[in-house]
Structure formats: C-alpha cells, structure tokens
C-alpha cells in the first residue's frame, strides 16, 4: 500500500513520496527550463527545477490538507503517499456522515486556491499590477522595467499560481474520482439519506464526464494530435468512476444479502447412535477422493453438533465397533455459528478472522438450517450482481477455501464493519 519513500511525518501522520517523483521532477525541470532560457541561460535548469518542486509541493499540500481535515472529522489516517498527479491518504475507516465527506473533499481545492492566491500575491509584490495585464507582450517587456532576476521570480510565482488555480478548479468537477465528485456525493447523501445512492450518482457523473472528455478529445484529434491527451484522460475518468460503482454495488450487496439467501443444504445428517465402524463404512469410505463433506450429527429429531471426520483417525480402529459417533461430535454451542438474518459481510469476516472452512447457519429453534462456505458467498453475489461466474470457478473456490484476491471481498467487508 505504501509503495514510496518515507520523508517524515506531519502531525503524527507518516509521509511518503512515490519514487517516480525523482524522475518526474527531473523531466519537468528540463521541460520548464525553456521558459527561463532567454533570461538566464546558465541557470535556466535551476529555475525549472524550482518550478517543478513547487508543483510537487502543491500536490503534497493538497493531500496534507485532506489528511488534516480527515483527522479533524474523526477519520484516522495511517499514512499519506504523494503520487504523480494525485496522492493517497490511507484511512482506517470511511467518513460516517455527509458533512464529513464534504469537509474532507473541499479541503483540497481550498488549499489549491489558497496557494494560487499566494502565488499571484507574490508575483504582484515583485512586479506590480502589470501581472494582471491581458496583453502577453507586457510580461515579455518586464526585464526592461524590473530586471531579469525579478522577472524570473515573477514567472515562477505566476506558474505556481496558475498550476494551483487549474488544479483547484479542475478538481471541483462534480464527478468521481475528483473532489467535486465527493462533494456531489455528500450533497446527494444529505438529500436522500442514502450513501449508496449518493455514490451511484457521483460515479455515473464521472462516467458521463469521462465519455464527454473522450468525445471532445476525439474531435480535437481529427485536426491535432493533442486530442490524444483528452482521450486518455476521459478513458481514465470513465474507468475510475466504474471502479467506484463496482465497490458501491458490492458493498450494497454484502449488506442486503443475508445468510438465509446464501446458505445451502450441502451437508449430511448422520445418527449419533451409530458406531464409528458403521459411520466409516457407510459414509467415509463411500465419499469421492477429493470430497470434503460436512457431517451434522442428529438424534431424537434434534441436531446435536458437527462430526469431526478427521478425529476418527486418532481412535484405534479396534475400538470403532464399540464406540458411537457421539464421541466425535462437537456441540453446536461450542462452534461459531450465524443466524438466518446475519449479513453476508459478517459471515465473510467470520470466515477470514477464524480461518474457517464454512459456518453453520442456525434456525430460530437452534437446529442447522444450512451451511455457507466461500464458494456459496461468491455464488450469492454472482446471482445478485449478475457477474455470470462459471460454475467450475465457484467449485474451485470451494475446494481451495480462499476468496479470489481480485474481488477485494475481505477488505471491503472489514470497511463495512468499521463503518457501523
């Protein structure tokens, strides 16, 4: 999750930068140095580097503002990782109310606009009112009136101001993953009272702007190769918004699906009064080689517990005829079970935290209503979300006893627990 180099901490929050920044700053320094080459050929690269570093600081301060506002709103921050054109603030839990979402989202653009104002103010203090002239040639004549050195610092201040102004305004676009999308989410959440509906609106808005940007880029591409940038940006925006939709729909499904919906009757009832020999002959020896069935012991019409088939190996085979199956039964009250109405997210957490192969679902009267394993969870989600997962894949999940890592189920269920 870090993927960066730690450079310190701020208010107790570890601060990391992505290693790619060293290459990016170097590239920007060379590229930006051309603007200073006429005024200072010997030190143009230095001034280009200063501008590039200020660009990095703009992004860093934007994300620091996010982190500090998150802490102020009670959202714990594990770290800040500054990445190119963005940054991540790794949180322990999500915001619990619309106002917190709004406050955290607006903090970044406000920081950018404040930095922009600082840049314009610095340029004004150095060069005066001339910086507000709409005539581009006015800036070109600055060296004659205030000197080359002051002109260079005016240009650096103006570049810093413009970068943050563009960054701040651009981030206010009402579409996820931009901050404006989170602001839209907060507003819709406040109006509807439904966080899932709010995310869906903001994500759909992101996809709309993504398609719009790709179309605009395509039209520009007909006459200029520069449109390729907009095409890629639109594609990124559409894909990122789709990611929000995927997580949102998955979270909602994990809350709406309960144990009764996901469970199966994929277990075998056995009589606790039968001997171990009879159990071995009638059940264990008849099972397929790769089968791993679940045995529920029952007597007098009541479910007593789960039979540990592995435990029979610890008993001398000479005693199998004399001992009953009761000796292998683990009572239901001594194992982890769930109720019919328990959410599937709770079951996922239980399976992972206790590293269970399956969980027993108990009816209101205490009997075994069904069982749920990881394959059953995936199948229930598949039906709900129309994933169309092949049956063979679900069977393999049952055999492996592991959730597919690309589904992010465990991480998302943990987040849902923290939001309670």
Token representation of residue 99:
């106002």
DSSP assignment string, 77-97:
EEEEEEETTEEEEEESS--SS
Q: Token digits for 132?
A: 């507000």
Residues 255-275 have a mean pLDDT of 91
Confidence of residue 15 (pLDDT cuts 50, 70, 90): confident
| Other residues' Cβ atoms within 10 Å of the Cβ of residue 310 | 8
pLDDT of residue 345: 93
Report how far residue 33's alpha carbon sits from residue 45's, in angstroms, rounded to the nearest whole number: 5
pLDDT at 1: 43
Q: What is the pLDDT of residue 307?
A: 87
For residue 94, what pLDDT band results from cuts at 50, 70 and 90? low
Length of the chain: 420
Instruction: Output the pLDDT for position 72.
Output: 84
pLDDT digits (tens, 9 = 90+) for 72-83: 888 777 777 776
Paired with 330 in beta bridges are 306
Q: Does the structure show a pLDDT above 50 at 2?
A: no
What's the CA gap between 190 and 406, in Å, rounded?
A: 32
The mean per-residue pLDDT over the stretch 194-212 comes to 93
d(CA 76, CA 100): 13
Confidence band (pLDDT; 50, 70, 90) for 286?
low
The model's pLDDT over 178-199, given as tens digits with 9 standing for 90+, comes to 899 999 999 999 999 999 999 9
89 compared with 67, residue with greater pLDDT: 67
Give the predicted TM-score (pTM) of the model.
Answer: 0.77
The encoded tokens of residue 43 equal 């030190």
Q: Which residues contact 182 (CB under 8 A, 6 or more apart)?
A: 101, 102, 104, 105, 176, 202
Name residues whose C-beta falls within 8 Å of residue 223's C-beta, 6 or more positions apart in sequence.
Answer: none
Which tens digits make up the pLDDT trace of 344-396? 999 999 999 999 999 999 999 989 999 999 999 999 999 999 999 999 999 99
Angle separating helix axes 409-418 and 227-256, nearest 10 degrees: 70
Q: What is the pLDDT of residue 113?
A: 94
- pLDDT confidence of residue 161: 93
């Amino acid at each position: 999750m870090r993927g960066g180099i730690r450079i310190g901490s701020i208010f107790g929050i570890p601060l990391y930068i992505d290693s790619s920044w060293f290459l990016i700053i170097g590239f920007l320094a060379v590229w930006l140095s051309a603007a200073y080459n006429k005024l200072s050929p010997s030190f143009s690269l230095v001034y280009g580097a200063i501008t590039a570093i200020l660009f990095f600081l703009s992004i860093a301060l934007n994300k620091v503002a996010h982190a500090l506002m998150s802490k102020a709103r009670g959202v714990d921050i594990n770290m800040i990782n500054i990445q190119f054109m963005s940054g991540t603030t790794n949180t322990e839990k999500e915001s619990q109310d619309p106002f917190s979402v709004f406050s955290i989202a607006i903090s970044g653009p406000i920081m950018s606009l404040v930095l922009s104002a600082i840049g314009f103010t610095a340029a004004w203090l150095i060069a005066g009112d001339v910086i507000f002239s709409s005539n581009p040639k006015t800036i070109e004549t600055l060296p004659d009136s205030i000197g080359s050195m002051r002109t260079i610092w005016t240009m650096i201040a103006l570049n810093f101001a413009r970068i943050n102004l563009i960054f701040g305004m651009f981030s206010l676009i009402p579409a996820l993953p931009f901050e404006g999308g989170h602001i839209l989410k907060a507003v819709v959440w406040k109006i509807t009272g439904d966080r899932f509906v709010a995310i869906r609106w903001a994500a759909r808005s992101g996809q709309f702007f993504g398609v719009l940007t790709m179309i605009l880029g395509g039209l520009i591409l007909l006459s200029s190769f520069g449109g390729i940038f907009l095409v890629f940006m639109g594609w990124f925006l559409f894909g990122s918004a789709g990611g929000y939709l995927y997580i949102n729909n998955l979270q909602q499904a994990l809350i709406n699906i309960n144990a009764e919906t996901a469970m199966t009757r994929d277990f075998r009832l056995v009589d606790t009064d039968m001997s171990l020999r009879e159990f071995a002959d009638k059940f264990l020896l008849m099972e397929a080689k790769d089968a791993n069935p679940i045995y529920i012991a029952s007597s007098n019409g009541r479910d007593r517990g789960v039979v540990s088939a592995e435990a029979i190996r610890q008993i001398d085979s000479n005693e199998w005829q004399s001992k009953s199956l009761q000796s292998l039964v683990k009572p239901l009250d001594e194992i982890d079970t769930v109720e019919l109405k328990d959410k599937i997210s709770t079951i996922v957490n239980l399976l992972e935290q206790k590293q269970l192969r399956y969980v027993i679902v108990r009816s209101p009267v205490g009997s075994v209503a069904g069982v749920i394993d990881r394959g059953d969870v995936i199948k229930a989600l598949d039906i709900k979300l129309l994933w169309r997962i092949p049956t063979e894949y679900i069977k393999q999940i049952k055999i492996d006893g592991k959730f597919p890592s690309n589904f992010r189920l465990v991480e998302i269920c943990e987040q849902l627990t923290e939001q309670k």
